[in-house]
Amino acid sequence: MDQLLFEVFNLVAIFTILSIPFLNTKARGILTLSVTGVLTVISSLLAVSVFINGPVEISYSGSWVTGEIPVRIDYLSAWFILTISFTFFTGGWYGFSYMQKYRDQTDNITMHLIAFLLLFTSLIDLCTIQNSLMLLIVWEIMALSSFIVIIFEHDKKETLKAGMNYLIQSHICILFLTMAFMWVKIKTGSFDFLAITKFTSTQPALAGIGLFVFFFFGFGIKAGFVPFHTWLPLAHPAAPAHISGIMSGVIIKIGIYGILRVLTLIETNMITIGYFILTFAVITGIYGVMLAIVQHNLKKLLAYHSIENIGIIGIGIGLGCLGLGYESQILAVAGFGGALLHTLNHSLFKSLLFFGAGNVYLIKHTLNIEALGGLIKRMPHTAYLFLIGSLAICGLPPFNGFVSEFFIYSGLFKGLSSDLFLFILAMLFSILALVIIGGLALICFTKAFGIVFLGEGRTETGDRKPETGEGRNVRPLYLIAAAIVLVGLFPFLLTWPLTKTIGLYLPQTAPESYAQIQELLGTLTRVGWYSLGFAALSALIYFLRTWLVANRQQNTDTTWGCGYTGDPAKMQYTASSFIRTYRKLAEPMLFIKKHKKDAISLYPDQVERETHPGDWIEVLLIDKPLLFSRRFLRRFGFLQNGNIQAYILYGFIFISLAVLLPLIIGKIEILIEFLNHL
């Protein structure tokens, strides 16, 4: 049954991809949307069936190169399959209405749709295949198809540049993975993932850690851990809105899946790995959100928030590893459980936010926060949905972000009762990191929501009537919002699959700690009920207030301007001024290019202020080395002088070298032999 579902899934995808070129544009769109729906149903059925009937193992014979190809769908795969399917379904649905205005670009759309389906299929397959060579091939398909969907607007120079950046970094990621898999293959002679376990259990712990570091770098580039994050803030704004949502929601999560998968297989010193991941995660989380606040482009801001959320997930994974290392089940459960839950939650609210940003772009044709404002009156649905997403991403109750952050927090606070100084210190820093991330996220999203949707419009340029009404663009967003609220209020719906998935890391759970785990999950359920109670209380107070003031006098007037009666829209607080105090505080740690022209003399000219937030990790790690290598290679620029005679000369030198070199080497060998005989 499960094998049938798996095969049907791939076959449906392949046949659809083959048939897309033979249809007209409208049929292509409808076909892709309906096939995405069908594929979602099939893959969800597969995942649910795994959760009910237990893991599935299917084996394909493969070729003599790959060897046997095992396909194992366990709880971890099923968890990620569910996450990916849901996001692809809402993404496909949203994309269908978002792409209406590009309908005339027929060829471009065809490529996009094919790549979209290819991406969906390859992501689901990546969660199941356990043969390293096949995994690398599917990974490559995934990387290429995501490259194609990102560069949809390839007539823009920035889009193409961001796409190339993404393509190159994806391949560095593949390079790391290839090296890791090669290492295992050479040592054990097998492409099967189980060889990783065999390899690490027979080698000293150091080899296992080394192998993990390779995997972590490889998957970390995909996931966007600092300092491998530089592709994310470029690629997200360049892609169309539904792709940004999917990319942030699930494509980067495949990196998290990879790390979690490797952790189920690898057998080494988990304590070192735990501290290793925790260090990266804390830096990632804080750095991501610190840069997010100073961004002026809404999508770029959201992209930096993806980095921050990867940090939170990483803190969960690190805590889980430390729990495994120190043999504390409760920490392992809180850590891995929090990481898995946050993976799901982030895919929900981040896709919601990106789709919301897409709606803003459709109406205003810009994503510059400073140019927006007052959109709650033009697009109320999008505004309230964006508010729900903002509250969820800040981890505020009663939404889903709080559930997973609470899970990680409770693990971290439980960890404080340990006796090891280093461990307590790690817990303290992780708690501090989570708190600071939460506080900074609050600043960031009050800015994003408040400036973009509230107040008065800041510029009226570029305003056009949207081709489609808001109604059609917000339906998938409502579905996601419903899921967010559902997870936030009733987290017990997820505890059953969650415990099964965490069980992968705790093969021999002791019964007494089982009660502890149940207690933790019970607390989570109660948190959900209290959140519901809170929502009810707020609603009660609001209705009480409305009922009380119903008969009172209510006037409307202009906002109080302290005596100023001119155009109030121009006097509004802007995004830059909102975060100015923060920027001043964080300036030593950030890289902000400023340009200002002050008011001088009695009759000053126009005053100018410009800030361009940069990323010094990108400068240090990518821009500077590139500059140096370019400067070095330029020294050889004289070789390419455009002179045909010179090129013929190069050819002549090359051929003569190729012919003469063996001869000369032969002579030298004879000479050495002769000298040896002396």
Partner 1 sequence: MVSFVLILLTSLFFTGIVVRTKSTTSGRKGPGIFQPLKDVFRLWKKGSVYSQTTSLIFRIAPSIYISSVLMAILMIPHGNHPGLISFDGDFVMFAYILALGKFLMIVSALDTGSSFEGMGAAREALYSMLAEPAFFVLMGSFALFTEETSFHGIFSALHYGSSVSYMLGALAAFVFIFIAMIENSRMPVDDPKTHLELTMVHEVMVLDNSGFDLGLITYTSHLKFALYGAIISNFFIGSMSYLFSIPVFFCAQICFAVAVGVIESFMARFRLGHNPQFIFILTSVSSLIFFGVLLVMGKFI
Q: Interaction with partner 1 in 401-460: which residues (CB under 8 A)?
A: 402, 405-406, 409-410, 413-414, 416-417, 419-421, 424, 427-428, 431-432, 435-436, 438-440, 442-443, 445-446, 449-451, 454-456
In whole angstroms, how close is the CB of 452 to partner 1 at the nearest point? 10
- Smallest separation, CB 527 to partner 1 (Å): 6
Among 24, 507, 511, 562, binds partner 1 (CB under 8 A): 562
Q: At what angle do helices 511-549 and 470-489 cross, to 10 degrees?
A: 130
CA–CA–CA angle 87, 89, 93 (5° rounding): 115
* Contacting partner 1 within 105-144 (CB under 8 A): none
**Parallel, antiparallel, or unpaired for β 591-597 and 56-60?**
unpaired
What are the backbone angles phi and psi of residue 19, rounded to the nearest 5°?
-90, -15
Q: How far is CA 336 from CA 90, 130, 155, 498, 504, in A?
A: 26, 21, 43, 9, 10
| Single residue of 327, 519, 608, 610 touching partner 1 by CB under 8 A | 519
Q: What is the DSSP letter of 192?
A: B
Binding partner 1 (rule: CB under 8 A), the pick from 396, 477, 480, 521 is 396
Task: Return the H-helix or E-strand segment holding 125.
Answer: helix 106-126
**Among 4-12, 559-567, 595-603, 658-666, the segment contacting partner 1 (CB under 8 A):** 559-567
Q: Which is nearer to partner 1, 417 or 508 (CB)?
A: 417
Please give the single-letter amino acid code of residue 410: S
Say if CB 261 and CB 130 are below 8 A apart.
Answer: no
Nearer to partner 1, 430 or 501 (CB): 430
For residue 560, give the DSSP letter. P
Residue 399: what residue type? Answer: F
Q: How far apart are CA 221 and CA 227, in angstroms?
A: 8
Residue 572 beta carbon to partner 1: minimum distance, rounded to whole angstroms: 5
* Minimum distance, C-beta of residue 232 to partner 1, in the bound complex (Å): 24
| Alpha carbon distance 385, 90 (integer Å) | 14
Residue among 122, 124, 108, 115 at smallest CA distance from 149: 115
- Distance separating alpha carbons of residues 528 and 535, to the nearest angstrom: 11
Is position 394 an interface residue for partner 1 (rule: CB under 8 A)?
Answer: yes
Contact set for partner 1, span 539-558 (CB under 8 A):
540-542, 545, 548-549, 552-558
Could you say which residues in the range 249-288 bind partner 1, by CB under 8 A?
Answer: none
Is-contact 309 346, C-beta < 8 A? yes
Q: Which of 182, 571, 626, 660 binds partner 1 (CB under 8 A)?
A: 571
**Residue in 103, 161, 377, 609 binding partner 1, rule: CB under 8 A:** 377
Q: Could you tell me the smallest distance in angstroms from the CB atom of residue 179 to partner 1?
A: 38
| Peptide bond between residue 227 and the one before it cis (omega within 30 degrees of 0) | yes
Taking the C-alpha atoms of residue 546 and residue 538, their distance in angstroms, rounded to an integer, is 12
Does the protein bind partner 1 through residue 37 (CB under 8 A)? no
Least distance CB 523 / partner 1 (angstroms) = 5
Q: How many residues belong to the site for partner 1 (CB under 8 A)?
A: 86
Q: Least Å distance between CB 581 and partner 1?
A: 5
Query: What is the H or E stretch that residue 70 is in?
Result: strand 69-73
- Residue 377 CB, shortest distance to partner 1, in Å, is 7
Residue 173 vs 282, nearer CB to partner 1: 282
In the chain, the amino acid numbered 346 is H
SS (H, E, C) 298-354: HHHHHHHHHHHHHHHHHHHHHHHHHHHHCCCHHHHHHHHHHHHHHHHHHHHHHHHHH
What's the min distance (Å) between Cβ of 298 and partner 1?
Answer: 15
Interface with partner 1 in residues 454-493 (CB under 8 A): 454-456
Closest CB to partner 1 among residues 35, 290: 290
Nearer to partner 1, 246 or 293 (CB): 293
Contacts of partner 1 in 573-632 (CB under 8 A): 573-574, 577-582, 584-585
Among 138, 211, 301, 527, binds partner 1 (CB under 8 A): 527
Q: How far is the CB of 394 from partner 1 (least distance, A)?
A: 7
Closest listed residue to residue 73, CA positions, set 250, 259, 263, 261: 261
Q: Which of 533, 604, 625, 651 binds partner 1 (CB under 8 A)?
A: 533
